[in-house]
Each structure stands twice: as structure tokens, then as C-alpha cells.
Amino acid sequence: MAEARVVIRTGGGLHAGPAAALVAEARRHACAVTFACGARAANAKSILEVLALGVKDGEELLVRAEGEGAEDAVGALARVLGEQRGRL
């Protein structure tokens, strides 16, 4: 298992643009990937679940992956989040 905590700084939270980029990256990995914010959790490969988290700008997102390639998945998702900062 691998995990990382990332503060969301997209300028608008995890709305459709950044959420779609994250889901697309999560789907590239065979391992199970989840996002959690507070007590809420979502399958990172489901756009509806990710949007339903309602993550606002400034909130912390826990990215967790389990299975083969978990470390690579978490690293790739953290990079995507970093790339989204202030762009969307």
C-alpha cells in the first residue's frame, strides 16, 4: 500500500476538469486507487464518485493505492495534482 496527502490548490477544488484528469490517470494503473477527504472516500477510477467528494480548494486529499504498482500510481496522481494547481 502507498499513500500521499495533497492539499488541493486548483483555484476551484476538484471540479470536472481536475477530477477528469485524476480519474484518467487512476485508470492507467491496475492497482486499486481511492481518494479520501475527511470522512468521505471514493473510488478514484469513478468520475461520479470523485465529483461527489465535493473537495474544495484548500482541503487535503488522501491518495491511497493498493496492489501491484501502488507506489507508481500514487506518485503519478500526485504529479497530476501538482500540474493542475492554478490552471483550471
* Catalytic choice (15, 20, 34, 71): 15
Which residue bears the cell 464518485?
49
Residue 29 designated active-site? no
Judge whether 69 and 31 are in contact, CB under 8 Å: yes
57 CA to centre of own chain: 13
Residues 12 and 48: their CA atoms lie apart, in Å, by 17
Which residue bears the cell 501538482?
82
Residues 10 and 26: their CA atoms lie apart, in Å, by 18
Question: Which residues are marked as active site?
Answer: 15
